[in-house]
C-alpha cells in the first residue's frame, strides 16, 4: 500500500530497492495527530503530527514534543487514518436544502417595517 504521508511519497520509496519482506511490528511506525487543550473550558487545537510504533509511545512523544514547555491540561493523540474529512470542493454538502433564515436572527431584520407595510396595504381594503 502506498503511504499517504507526503514526505514518504515525495521520497519515491519504490526506487529504494529494499528487500521485500513483511515489516515487523516496531519497524512500521504509524502517523498520529496531536491535539492540545491549553486551559480548561477551551477547545482542543491541532498542534502537529508525529510517528510512533504504538499509541502509548505516541502519547509519550506527544507529551515531550507539544506539552513540555507550554501549559497543557489535556492531550489527545489520534491515529491519522482514524480521522475523516471532507474536501473544500464539497462545500455544497453543508448548504441548507431550503431557506431557513427564520431560524437565524438575521431572518428577522426589518420585521417591524414589513408589518407596518402590510398594515398600510390593508387600510384601503378595510375602509
User: Over 70: is that where the pLDDT of 2 sits?
Assistant: no
**Alpha-carbon distance values, 94 to 5, 33, 34, 85, 87 (Å):** 28, 25, 26, 13, 12
How many separate domains does the chain show?
Answer: 1
**pLDDT at residue number 24:** 72
- CA of 52: how far to CAs of 29, 60, 78, 79, 120, in Å? 5, 9, 11, 10, 72
User: Does a structural domain hold residue 4?
Assistant: no
Which residues span the domain enclosing 88?
Answer: 23-126
2 occurs within a structural domain: no
**Structural domain contains residue 9:** no
Q: Which CATH number is 65's domain given?
A: 3.10.20.520
- The dihedrals phi and psi of 15, each to the nearest 5 degrees, come to -90, 0
Per the prediction, the chain carries an average pLDDT of: 83
Indicate whether 85 belongs to any domain.
Answer: yes
Position 11 in a domain? no
What grid cell was written down for 46? 491541532
Question: In the predicted model, is pLDDT for residue 30 greater than 70?
Answer: yes
pLDDT on residue 43? 94
Q: What percent of the chain has pLDDT over 90?
A: 37
Amino acid at each position: 500500500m502506498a503511504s499517504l504521508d507526503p514526505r514518504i511519497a515525495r521520497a519515491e520509496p519504490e526506487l529504494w530497492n529494499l528487500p521485500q519482506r513483511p515489516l515487523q511490528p516496531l519497524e512500521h511506525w504509524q502517523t498520529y495527530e496531536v491535539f492540545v487543550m491549553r486551559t480548561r473550558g477551551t477547545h482542543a487545537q491541532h498542534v502537529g503530527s508525529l510517528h510512533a510504533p504504538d499509541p502509548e509511545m505516541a502519547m509519550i512523544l506527544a507529551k515531550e514534543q507539544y506539552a513540555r514547555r507550554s501549559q497543557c491540561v489535556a492531550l489527545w493523540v489520534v491515529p491519522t487514518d482514524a480521522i475523516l474529512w471532507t474536501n473544500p470542493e464539497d462545500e455544497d454538502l453543508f448548504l441548507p436544502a431550503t431557506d431557513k433564515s427564520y431560524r437565524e436572527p438575521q431572518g428577522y431584520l426589518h420585521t417591524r417595517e414589513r408589518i407596518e407595510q402590510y398594515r398600510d396595504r390593508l387600510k384601503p381594503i378595510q375602509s
